[in-house]
Structure 1
């Protein structure tokens, strides 16, 4: 799907637009509609889809710039015609070349080059993404997500020769290996919020909008608190199961006290005493006075059912 979004960005968005903001909303909607014709995508992902198209469109323009403009500055006559096979009109190409040769663009380009040099941990995943890469190295992963994230980040920066380039990267890899070993031996305990092996090894917190080594659209708030979110869900589920078990006991109790419709015998309901941990009868002093009673679970404040005593001599619930 991501490859298809890239194709749509190349075909639908003209390179003469200076920025994504200048692209008409109708063109953006066309990209989104085209994606939905081929894939079943949640409507809430429209913004993410267009952000992806924006990124791929800028990458496309960067490719054209370096391959067909900067490499031919010594031969300006070759810049007049658009490259063959890219479906670019002559007018769009002329406007694109002029914009790329401007002083403003050169200034922005130089700033981006400086920023790129500051990335001392470049990944080697190409277009693959962390999710697919994690599937490929599944044999190296384990049940500990802290260890997994560190391993995925580490292996994603290995070159084709199986080596790590750069002193800073090598130092970070050594720290990761050391912390992973400590964690497996039970010697490493991280109690700081939003901190695990990778963030400790890199000595930096996660960006507010993403988590390194995981992929896009996963925020630190969710990633580092998913355990408590799941635990809360399990607690609620356990409570529901307790309620269900209690109701089943009550149903069994009432079934035993039900009238036999095949005989003329009077109905004499029975009541079974549940475990003390399961129930309490409130208003105990008025138990035989035909007044309302409440059934509680765990504590007197947790009322799960109400009832009324309907028989005095033969006790039962109604």
Structure 2
């Protein structure tokens, strides 16, 4: 039987556990060369690489799409096309996968915005001073983005 590992604590994080970022790093490292994604007879993405693609989409959307867009339809078309081109270069995707990839990007952005709201904004609604700085995990989010 294996023991459950205790999270490591960093004094800079004020007693909060440090997040394990290896998954994000692994996704970026694994995407350095083109990865082939399999399709079934209905041209639907299938297999393990499908999940890798979906996870990678979540990471990239969090990093590259501003959270000020309250709806995926309001994200400028040039940003969407830039992301699509990036995913095509990283994974061997046919044009038929574009609709599915855009759907996953929409879901990833909505999920990220909901996660931020539930974990950081709603619990601190009465303490506005704590909302002036982005969470340590998301230092890339600037105040102008809020």
TM-score (norm 1): 0.29
Partner residue of 2:145?
A: 92
Distance between the aligned counterparts of 2:137 and 2:101, measured in 1? Answer: 26
Higher Cα radius of gyration:
1
Structure 1 residue 73, shift from structure 2 partner: 1.7
Q: Helix, strand or coil for the counterpart of 1:88?
A: coil
Partner residue of 1:59?
A: 111
**Bigger relative CO (Cα 8 Å, ≥ 6 apart):** 2
Deviating beyond 4 angstroms after TM superposition, the runs of 4 or more aligned structure 1 residues are none
List per-residue Cα deviations over 1:121-162 (Å, max 9, x = no partner). Answer: xxxxxxxxxxxxxxxxxxxxxxxxxxxxxxxxxxxxxxxxxx
Partner residue of 1:48?
A: 100
- Unaligned 5+ runs, structure 1: 94-318
The structure richer in helix per residue is 2
Structure 1 residue 33, shift from structure 2 partner: 1.0
User: Aligned runs of 1:59-78 on 2, under 5 Å?
Assistant: 59-78=111-130
Q: Say yes or no: does 1:25 pair with 2:77.
A: yes
List per-residue Cα deviations over 1:12-43 (Å, max 9, x = no partner). Answer: 21000121111001110111111111111111
User: Aligned runs of 1:259-278 on 2, under 5 Å?
Assistant: none
Structure 1 residue 83, shift from structure 2 partner: 1.5
User: Aligned runs of 1:147-186 on 2, under 5 Å?
Assistant: none
Partner residue of 2:54?
A: 2
Distance between the aligned counterparts of 1:91 and 1:39, measured in 2? Answer: 32
Paired residues, number: 93
User: Aligned runs of 1:209-248 on 2, under 5 Å?
Assistant: none
Partner residue of 1:79?
A: 131
Indicate the RMSD between aligned Cα atoms, in angstroms: 1.0
Structure 1 residue 7, shift from structure 2 partner: 1.1
Q: Helix, strand or coil for the counterpart of 1:31?
A: helix
Distance between the aligned counterparts of 1:7 and 1:30, measured in 2? Answer: 15
